[in-house]
Amino acid sequence: MTGVRPRLASHALDLPNHCDICNKARSHGNHQRCSKVRQVRQSAYWDAYMANVEAKKAQQGRRYAR
């Protein structure tokens, strides 16, 4: 099929009505701790992501450095 693009980062666009940390409705209860947990998760995710990018760079550098 042509002309069909995968929807990248679509998960970031559709916000669930439920908290993804405690799985309760966002309008119900206090989610300050949840947002902290989410921040920690996100930074862990980005740390892993950046480490992956660095590893790929290192691999490429090795490949081209002859």
Residue 18, amino acid: H
Task: Supply the minimum distance, in Å, between the C-beta of residue 35 and Zn ion.
Answer: 8
Task: Supply the minimum distance, in Å, between the C-beta of residue 21 and Zn ion.
Answer: 5
Across the chain, which distance is largest between two alpha carbons, in Å? 59
Question: What whole-number distance in Å separates Cα of residue 28 and Cα of residue 45?
Answer: 27
Residue 4 vs 34, nearer CB to Zn ion: 34
Residue whose token pair is 């490949």: 63
Query: Which spans of this chain sit near Zn ion (rule: CB under 5 A)?
Result: 19, 21-22, 31, 34
Residue 25 vs 44, nearer CB to Zn ion: 25
